[in-house]
Structure 1
Amino acid sequence: MAGIHGRGRAALVLLCAAVFLDSMDLSLMGVALPAIRRELSLPEGTLQWLVSGYAVTYGGFLLLGGRLADLFGRRRMFLLSLTVFAAASLAGGLFSSGTLLVATRIVKGLAAALTAPSALSLITTTFTGEAERGRALGVYSLAGAAGYTGGLVLSGLLTGVDWRLVFFLPVPVALLVVAFAPVALSRDARRDGSARGFDAGGAASVTGGVLLVVFALSERNWPAGVVAVLLLVAFVLIERRHRNPLVPLAIFRLPTLRAANIAAVAWACATIGWQFVAVLYLQQTLHYDALATGLGIAPMGLAIFLAANLAGRLIARWGLGRVATAGMLVQACGILLFLRADTASGYLAVLLPALVIHGIGNGLSFPSLNIAAVGGLPADRQGLASGLITSAVQIGAGIGVAVLSLFLTAPGLSGYRLAFLVAGCFSLFGALVTALGIRNPQQTTTPVPAHD
């Protein structure tokens, strides 16, 4: 965190701890599911919702979370949602009912959807200089990546002792952040009544629509997909007519913001979809156990760490568009190197180079996309912009996993290779979008009107 000092450093540590927890919870559950099933005799559908319940609510409520942060205060929403996250984690470790366990996961997903945009907008409003913001977002991106990778490793270690520790682990970390955040984070500015005329119809339609999009993709429930489309169409119509819309449609006239969000969907389709397939390949084809899988992926986390630390300086020198495009291209190379994989691939010769290259591209592109998505917007739109980019990532993750899993029905290695090829194409598409659409933030400072 070079170049960030004093209270700013303390604030960044706390905000990164929160995103670390959100990301870790995405991966902590996977390795623990067999142990939970054995002890509680849960059906397959309940086990699936222990994972998808978190992801669906996380992705579905992000836009609403970003707007609530703008309306009611970023620090206030951050503290409230993280407290709920800790309480739901504690309850999950104590319950033995499948229904109650799923309920705690849904509540945690909702809390994460409120925490993430608050944390990201607190960073973008706390660190206002271009270079300083780039470094802060690089560290923030690293924390998210480290949380996901760390969750894979810790899940294997904790499940070997007792699966309930997977639920209990986030509790002390979340409570420590809640305890110290009031000291490190600046108080919210006084509100001037901007919450009046809140767009309840827009909030309900977009939240319901996004929830059903993710649900339809994860469950392949096409009637739910039709309802999702109708709700999203209704959302657009509501936003065009509302005096104080949840998402001013004019915000998408900013080319850099628009490109950043489209590229974020492609980025998540590629990297999250690839991770889903790669973990299955390591476990089902190469017969790695859970801990070996987590440790095998860990070098990718180190590569992300190094690249994210460099991202701010590279952006300052070469610009957002070039760094984002280079990152997406390098990420695509790492994914496509997995086309070399077979039933007896050596880790050092085949897997490790692909993981490291993927990690470098990942660490360069993600901070660039986040900066592009929030740059040039006024302070009262930072929560909205943060919610948009985080929602784009979560929706992209759902699309990527759903699409790539379709190819796994092909026999033998051909299914894995098709999935890796499609993931690489997602990343190449993202590179094209960033090359054509992303400019530096100072070039997108056009005021955003309150409605379309």
Structure 2
Amino acid sequence: MAIDTSVPTPSAPPKLAGRARLILFVLCAAQFMVALDFSVLNVALPDLGRDLGLSQSALQWAVTAFALPSGGFLLLFGRIADLYGRRRLFLTGLALFGAASVLAALAWNPAAFLAGRALQGLGAAVIVPTGMALLTTTFPEGPQRDRALGISGTLLSLGFTVGMVLGGVMTDLLGWRSTMGLLALFTLIVLPLAPGLLPESRTPDRPRLDVPGAITVTGGLLALIYALSTAAQHGFGGADVQVTLVAGVALLIAFGVVESRSAAPLVSLPMLRRRTVAWGNLGGLVTFSMMSTVVFVLTLYLQETLELSAFRTGLVFGVQGVLSAVAGTYAPKVIGRLGARRTLVYSLLGQGLFVAALLGLGTESGALLATAAVSLASMCHLGAIISYGLTVTSGVPDEEQGLATGLVTTTQQVGITIGIPLLGVLATTQGSLFDGVRMVLGVDAAIVVGAAVLVGVGLRRARG
């Protein structure tokens, strides 16, 4: 069947009632807070290291300590929320995230700081899938959900970009601890509003939790994220990277075997066999992994090749963030006209082509081209984020929305994690940094365009 062959008549996105707006504000503010946490500390790492006595090689743990639990436990908490209550778990995650942010801000030694970061990651692993599941079960499938996911996707993208700019400003003015304090402040704003607004939802019957499945998938994701995060800093030659990479793949294979034999699987294999779920998540994996790589290598290019200051580099990504926010306001209209599946395919194609335009960068000039091309690529990237979430969750029963959104958010986290170690390393291993950046951008663009073709073919065969 052709992709969304029926073309709905475009109309203005529906206005949300007062209570619905407040619910959307709470859920989106929590997602924005987590997105901010992914990037707000990056610029502050050198100051943090000097203050707490963390060596250069140990600084990666400021990022890895958050990434491990935030990615590794997403599927598990998404399923637990389906069974025992999404609102209850969401509130627990918010409280944990806020307390962990306070611990990280007040950290008196490296161990206390890394413990705070790990607990932040655990809180994020609760907040993200439960928040997304609450959003998709609160707003019915159709224009309202399109609008809600459009706003959520915009803030997700904007949060990452704002974090990059805001982290540098706050570190210069107030010190690195202020970045963690900002996250605690966000929690204090969101947490008091949530209990009276959010509805409780769970699966009507309570099957037993698939413990073997939970152990194998969580262990596999933890091992995989650790291996790829460490490889981003030290390459794939280390024994710890190789062992954990093999262990991660083996555990995920074991997870597939366990799920095929379980009476109440953690992940429904029929759901994974749905073409919209499989191909939609592939599109999400590619758009996240390849866009994070572009941001990484462009930062190297702007600061090392063109010798721009951190502030001017931040302005480039600031423009990117503003235009992404603009794209988010129009994405629901585009999806209403084209359908989520077509929008996903066209967005991937646009992202790849605009990244290819970056091959025109030069060694002495290119800031304007970089700003324009990365901003346009990011606008397409945002369209892909929103449309892949809709593609994956459309048609999924409410009792499995936590699982579906857990898959969506796991794809996001794994995508952000794998892009830089898989391709970013090429930027620093060529004859010159500029040659390496061009190679990465070319490979990146080819992967995204190729994925657009594959996803388009895969979704064309999907029913419904």
User: In 1, are the aligned partners of 2:128 and 2:409 still within 8 Å (CA)?
Assistant: yes
Distance in 2, matches of 1:160 and 1:324, equals: 39
* Map of 1:324 onto structure 2: 344
Task: Tell me if structure 2 keeps the 8 A contact 1:267–1:426.
Answer: no
Equivalences for residues 40-55 of structure 1 within 5 A: 40-55=52-67
Distance 1:292 1:385, change over 3 A: same
Match of 2:27 among 5, 15, 19: 15
Question: Deviation per CA, 1:6-49, whole angstroms, max 9, x where unpaired?
Answer: 21111111111111111111111110011112222211232111
Cα distance in 2, alignment partners of residues 356 and 207 from structure 1: 35
1:329–1:431 CA contact under 8 A, matched in 2: yes
SS of residue matched to 1:179: coil
Aligned partner of 1:19: which letter?
A: Q
Residue in 2 aligned with 1:203? 214
Stretch of structure 1 that moved more, 100-109 or 148-157 = 100-109
For the Cα contact (< 8 Å) 1:267–1:430, is it kept in 2?
no
Give the aligned length.
440
Structure 2 match to 1:178: 191
TM-aligned CA deviation for residue 59 of structure 1: 1.4
Match for residue 309 of structure 1 among 306, 322, 329: 329
In 2, the alpha carbon distance for the partners of 1:92 and 1:246 equals 32
**AA of the residue aligned to 2:435:** S
Counterpart code for 1:388: L
**What does residue range 51-450 of structure 1 map to in structure 2 within 5 Å?**
51-161=63-173, 162-188=175-201, 192=204, 194=206, 196-219=207-230, 220=236, 221-348=241-368, 350-408=369-427, 409-412=429-432, 413-438=434-459, 443-444=463-464
Distance in 2, matches of 1:192 and 1:431, equals 38
The correspondence of residues 32-47 of structure 1 with structure 2, limited to 5 A, is 32-47=44-59
CA distance in 1, matches of 2:27, 2:34: 11
- For 1:79 and 1:438, locate their aligned partners in 2 and report how far apart those are by CA, in whole Å: 36
Asked whether the 8 Å contact 1:319–1:440 carries over to 2, the reply is: no
Cα distance in 1 for partners of 2:410, 2:365 equals 36
* Amino acid across the alignment from 1:417: R
Partner residue of 2:10? Answer: none
TM-score scaled to structure 1, two decimals?
Answer: 0.93
Runs of 4+ in 1 over 4 A off after TM superposition: none
Distance in 1, matches of 2:452 and 2:124, equals 28
Structure 2: distance between partners of 1:312 and 1:437 = 23
Please say which of residues 275-284 and 103-112 is displaced more in the overlay.
275-284
CA contact (8 A) 1:320 1:439 kept: no
CA distance in 2, matches of 1:284, 1:34: 17
TM-aligned CA deviation for residue 439 of structure 1: 6.4
- What whole-Å deviation, never above 9, does each CA across 1:62-81 have from its counterpart, x for those lacking one? 11121111111111111110
Deviations 1:101-138 (A, max 9, x none): 11211111111111101111111111104111111101
Structure 1 pair 240–346 and aligned structure 2 pair: CA distance change class (3 A) = closer
Which segment drifts farther, 142-151 or 265-274?
265-274
Alpha-carbon distance between aligned partners in 1 of 2:300 and 2:94, rounded to the nearest angstrom: 32
When the two structures are superposed, what TM-score results if normalisation uses the length of structure 2?
A: 0.91
Shift of 1:432: 1.5
Percent of residue pairs bearing the same amino acid type: 35
Question: Once the 2 structures are TM-superposed, how far is the Cα of residue 407 of structure 1 from its aligned partner?
Answer: 0.6
Letter in 1 for 2:270: A
Q: Which residue of 2 aligns with 1:447?
A: none
- 1:77-113 per-residue CA deviation (whole Å, 9 max, x = no partner) reads 1111011111111111101311221121111111111
- TM-aligned CA distance change 1:40 to 1:426, over 3 Å: same
Cα pair 1:319 1:439 within 8 Å, conserved = no
Q: Distance in 1 between matches of 2:310 and 2:186?
A: 24
Query: Deviation of residue 2 (structure 1)?
Result: 5.6
Give the 3 Å change call, closer, same or farther, for CA 65–440 of structure 1 in structure 2.
Answer: farther
Structure 1 residue 215, shift from structure 2 partner: 1.3
When the two chains are superposed, the root-mean-square deviation of aligned CA atoms in Å is: 1.8
Task: Give yes or no for contact 1:58–1:112 (8 Å, CA) kept in 2.
Answer: yes
Counterpart CA distance in 1 for 2:404 and 2:23 is 20
For residue 250 of structure 1, give the secondary structure of its aligned residue in structure 2. helix
